[in-house]
Amino acid sequence: MISVGVEEEYLLVDPATGVPVPLVEDVSRTAGLGSVAERDEVQDELLQAQIEVATPVCWSLEEVGGHLLRLRHAVASAAEANGCRTAATGAAPLRGRLPVPVTPTPRYRRMEAEAGQLVDEHLICGMHVHVGVPDPETGVAVLNRIRSWLPALLAMSVNSPLWDGRDTGFASWRTIVFGRWPVSGPPPHFDGYSDYERRLEALVSSGLIADRAQAYWQARLSDRYPTVEVRCLDVQLRADDAVMLAGIVRALVATAITEEKAGAALPQCAPEILHAANWHAARHGLNGTVVGRDGLPRSSGDVLCTLLRHITPALEESGDLREVSALVHRMLREGTPADRQRRALADGGLPGVIDLITGTTTSD
C-alpha cells in the first residue's frame, strides 16, 4: 500500500460580511490548544487570513476522510471562538478595502517586498496531495507520467469562480492568480532526478526565485517528505470530494510506478498544449471539453471515464474503486464546487455564497 497525506488551506472570514480577516494567530493558537488537533497539524500561511491543516501520513481513504473531518471541525470551532469562520473556497469572493497583512516570518516578508500586489492578492486556497514514492528517481518518473493528467484533475477540483464580488468567468480563478508567479503551472519533462535537481538549483542560484519552495509547479517532489506532491487542486467544499481527489491522485501515482517498472511508453504532451489545457480547465471546469492524456479535447465525461479506466487496477488494489467511482459519478451529476458556488450566487446572492463556503467545513 502506498501512503497518502492531504493539506488543505482555508480562508478566515467575517461571518457577517464574508471579508477575509487577519486572525490566523488567534485561531491557530486556539486550535492547537484543543484536544482535537495537534499543533503541527494546523499551520500558518502567507497571509494572516489563511490557515492550513495537514493530515498525518495515511494508508487508507477512510483515514484521510476521518482526519480531514476532524481537522475541519477543529479549525472551524477555533474560528468561531475568535469571531470568524473558515471558508472552503479556492479564492476569496470578497476582499476588504485594505490588504491583509502577511504572516510575519522572514520568508513571507521577503516575498511581500519582492512581489508587492501579487502577495496582496494571494487570497487563494489550495489542496495538496502527498503520495509516497520509494526514491527520488522514481518520483521524477512519476512526475513525467502524471503531468498530462493535471488539467483533468484541475477541472474536477475547480472551486473559485468569484472574486471582488462577481463571477470571474473562470471556474478556478485561483489557478490564474497562482499562474502569475515566475515558476508555476504544469511541470516540464525531466530527464531523470539529476536533471530535476540541476534545473531547480539553477532557478535558485540565478536569483530568479528565492528558494526551492517557490518552484510552484502543479506537481513536484516534496523537499520535506519522500513524496510526490500534487498541487493543482482548489480546496474542496466537501471533505468527501477531497477524499475522492486524494484517491485518484494516489492511484495515478501507483499506476505511473507500475508503468515505469514495465517500461511502458511515456505519454507525449507538448508543453504549449499542456499549459493551454491547464488554462482551459481553469476557465471551464467540467462544463465543456477537457484535454485528456493524449492532448486532445474531449467531453468531460469521456475524459473522466478514461481516467477511471486508466487507474482502475490501482483503485482495485487499494480497495478504493467503489468509493472513488461513486464520488466521480456524483460530481458528473451534480457539478463541480464552482458550479455549486454559482448556483448559490444565483439563488441567494453573495450571502448565499458565504453561507455555502463557510458551512461546508463542518459537514461531510
Q: Where are the domains of the chain?
A: 4-362
Answer whether residue 36 shows pLDDT above 80: no
In the three-class reduction of DSSP (H, G, I as helix; E, B as strand; rest coil), residue 190 is classed as coil
What does the pLDDT average to over 191-198?
97
50 and 123 Cβ atoms separated by less than 8 Å: yes
Residue 335 in this model has a pLDDT that exceeds 80 = yes
Residues 344 and 92: their CA atoms lie apart, in Å, by 15
How confident is the model at residue 267, as a pLDDT?
85
Phi, psi values for residue 107, rounded to 5°: -65, -45
pLDDT attached to residue 34: 57
Strands 50-54 and 126-132: unpaired
Give the residue among 180, 178, 126, 188 at the shortest CA–CA distance from 153.
126
The C-alpha angle with vertex 123 and arms to 117 and 126, in degrees rounded to 5, equals 130
Which of 269, 258, 251, 274 lies closest to 324, judged by CA?
A: 251
Q: What is the mean pLDDT of the chain?
A: 94
Give pLDDT tens digits for 46-67. Answer: 999 999 999 999 999 999 999 9
Long-range Cβ contacts of 223-227 (<8 Å, 24+ apart): 225/5, 225/130, 225/132, 226/132, 226/133, 226/134, 226/135, 226/139, 227/3, 227/5, 227/130, 227/131, 227/132, 227/133, 227/139
CA dihedral 61, 65, 70, 76 (to 10 degrees): 140
**Which CATH architecture group holds 4-362?**
2-Layer Sandwich (3.30)
CA distance 303 to 299: 6
